[in-house]
Structure 1
Amino acid sequence: MKIIALDIGGTAIKYAYFDGDDLIFDDVRPSEASLGGDKVLENIISIITEIGNQHSYDTIGISTAGQVDSINGTIVYANDNIPNYTGMELKKILEDKFKVPVSVENDVNAAAIGEAIYGAGKGENDFLCLTYGTGIGGAIFLNQKLYKGAQGVAAEMGHMMIHPGGLPCGCGSFGCYEQYASTTALIRTAKAHSPEFYNGKAIFSAFDHDSKDAKRLIDQWVKEISYGLVNLIYIFNPSLIVLGGGIMTQPYIINKLNQIIKESTMPSFHGVRVTLASLGNLAGVYGMKAITSKEYQEK
C-alpha cells in the first residue's frame, strides 16, 4: 500500500510517503496555522498535490492538532493556535478532492499509535504519551488500545489545572498545564528574563555554555513538567511514559524528570520509566501509516 501521511501542528506540517513498510521520503514545512484553518487546508492540499504529481498513492492519513472525531474525520474543537479550524470536515473535503480513502486522527493519538506499533511503546500493554511544543497533547494506551473516553476526546492533558487561578489559557480556563510546561511556556518565561533566550535552541545553547540563568529557567520548567506527570502517574500507575516534541531530545530533560519523579512519588510508583519518543518528530506520520494500513485498528 502506498500512503501519504501528514502531521499538522501549530508550527509545522511534517509529511511522508510510504511504499509498503518503506519510508521513501519525509519533509517539513511551516503550517502557517496562525492564519487559520483555511490556510492550513490550503497547505495540506498543496503538499498532497505535489506528492501526487510524482508518486501514486492508495490512501491519505492526516494527524492533526485539535480534538478529532476520527470516525467522521472532523475537527471537533481547535483553540486559537489554529483559528477557524473547529468544525472542518477534513475527511470529506480531502476524499472529495483526491478520490482516495482518508483517515484523520488527533496528533498525539497518532504519535502514540506510532510509538506503540513501531517505537518506544512496542510490546507495552499500558503507557502514556505526551508531546510538548506549542501546547501539550496527551494520549492514553490501555490494553494495547487508545483510550478515547465517552465523547472520543480523552487525554487533554495540557488542560489539567496545575495552578488554579493562574495564567489564562486558550481553552478559556486559567492555570492549565500547558501554560507552564509547554515549550511555548519555557520560551515566554525565558524571553521575559532576557531577549537572548528567543527560542529553545538559544536557551539550551546557553545552558550548554554553563549559563546559570539558563539552568535556573530550565530547572523550573522541568519542575512544571513533573507536576503534571506525577499526577498522571498516581492516576494511571503506568510502566512507561513516552515524551515527544523536538525539545525533548535534550538529554538533560529526561534525566532530570526521572530524578524528580522518583523524589516526588511513593516507592510503590517508582517502577515507571520516562523515556523519549523513539520515532521523534515522525511519530505522527508513522501512526497514520499504522492506521491507514490497518496495522492498528481500534476494534
Structure 2
Amino acid sequence: MKKYVGLDIGGTSVKYGLVDENGVVTNKNHFETNVDDKDKLLNDLVAAVKEIQDIEPVEGIGVSMPGVVQADGFLTTSGAVKYFTEINLAQLLEEKTDLPTKIENDANAAAIAEKWIGSAQGIHDYIGLVLGTGVGGALIVNDQIYRGAHARSGEFGWMIVEDDDVDVEMGTLNFRGATVIGLIRRYNQFSGDQVDDARKIFQRADDGEVLAQNVLKSYYRSLAKGIINLEVAFDPAVVIIGGGISNNTEFMDNLNKTIKEIQAVHNSINNLQLPEVKAAKLKNDAGMIGAVYQLIHA
C-alpha cells in the first residue's frame, strides 16, 4: 500500500503524519509553528518529512495551509504564516526532499477529505465551512473544488451578513460567525471577564447568564444568514461544518433551529427544502487527509 506524508500548517502548530492511500492517518505528531523565521519553519517541515520517511517509504507530500493557493503551489497569500506569501512552497519542498508535493488551501483540503472518507461520501455538490479563528470555506462542484478566476473561491468569511456603518468588515461572516474573532470576540466586548474558549460561553448561557445567551443568539443568527445565502446561491446537496465548535451537538442543533426560524419568515424560500447542515466527521486530521487526496489525484 502506498504511503504519503501529510502536513497541516497552522498559525500555531504544524500537524503531520503518515497517510495511506485509504486516508488512514498514523504516526501523528506536531510542532510549534515558527511564524517569525521562514528558514526555520522550512527546516522543521523537512525534518518532519524525514521523520516519517524513517518509519516507512513515502510517495510524496500533501500540505494543507491557510491562504490563496494556486494550482502549481504558489501562495498568493498565506494566512498567519505571512513570510510564505508570494513563494512557491511546493517547489521549495520538492527541492529539499526530492518528493512530489501538493499544496492545498486548508478549507479546501478539509472539504475534499470529507468527500473521500467523511460526511460527504457519495455527494457530488456541497459546501464546506470551517469555523475557527475566521471562517474558511470550500465549494465542491461535480466532485471538484471550484477555485474561481483568481483561486479565491470559498472566502465565505468576507461576506457581509450584518450592517456596520462604522467598519464594514465588522459585519462580515468572519467577525460575526467565526468562533474566535466572531463569538469569543463579541462576548469579550461586553464582559468584564475575558474568555478564550467558546465552551465557557456555552456553559455560562446554560447557567443562565443573560449576556452569554444574547451573544449566542446573535451569533447563531449571523451564521445562519450566511449559510442561507450560500444555500440559495449555490444549491448544494449539503453544507458541512468543520472546526472544533462543530463537535458541540448543542451548537449544531441551535444553528439548524435558527436557520429554520429565519427561513420561516422569508417568503420566497419558506416552502423550500433547504440543504442539510451537518458536522464534519474527520476533525483534526481533515487537512492532512485532504491534502494527500489532492496529491494522489493530481
> TM-score band (shorter)?
0.7 to 0.9
Structure 1 residue 256 and structure 2 residue 254: aligned? yes
Corresponding residue number in structure 1 for 2:266: none
User: Given the superposition, is the C-alpha separation of residues 191 and 23 from structure 1 closer, same or farther in structure 2, using an over 3 Å criterion?
Assistant: same
- Show CA shifts across 1:225-280 (max 9, x none): 11211111121122210010012211112111111112222234333110000111
Structure 1 residue 267 and structure 2 residue 270: aligned? yes
CA distance in 1, matches of 2:138, 2:152: 10
Corresponding residue number in structure 2 for 1:146: 145
Structure 1 residue 184 and structure 2 residue 177: aligned? no
**What is the DSSP-based 3-state SS (H/G/I as helix, E as strand, rest coil) of the residue aligned with 1:44?**
helix
The alignment of Structure 1 onto Structure 2 pairs a total of residues equal to: 289
Corresponding residue number in structure 2 for 1:281: 284
Q: Normalization by structure 1: what TM-score?
A: 0.87
Name whichever of 262-271 and 222-231 sits farther off. Answer: 262-271
CA distance in 1, matches of 2:37, 2:194: 30
CA distance in 2, matches of 1:194, 1:48: 45
Q: Which amino acid aligns with 2:239?
A: I
Structure 1 residue 65 and structure 2 residue 63: aligned? no
CA distance in 2, matches of 1:112, 1:15: 18
Q: Which amino acid aligns with 1:15?
A: Y
**What is the DSSP-based 3-state SS (H/G/I as helix, E as strand, rest coil) of the residue aligned with 1:58?**
coil
Q: Normalization by structure 2: what TM-score?
A: 0.87
Which runs of no fewer than 5 residues in structure 2 stay unpaired?
264-268
Q: Which amino acid aligns with 1:181?
A: G
Q: Which amino acid aligns with 1:251?
A: T
Structure 1 residue 121 and structure 2 residue 123: aligned? no
Match of 2:236 among 216, 235, 238: 238
Q: CA deviation at 1:49?
A: 3.2
Report % sequence identity. 29
Which runs of no fewer than 5 residues in structure 1 stay unpaired?
none
User: Given the superposition, is the C-alpha separation of residues 39 and 257 from structure 1 closer, same or farther in structure 2, using an over 3 Å criterion?
Assistant: farther
User: Given the superposition, is the C-alpha separation of residues 151 and 282 from structure 1 closer, same or farther in structure 2, using an over 3 Å criterion?
Assistant: same
- Show CA shifts across 1:29-66 (max 9, x none): 43344x36555434423422333344322210001100
- Show CA shifts across 1:189-208 (max 9, x none): 22231325232233234345
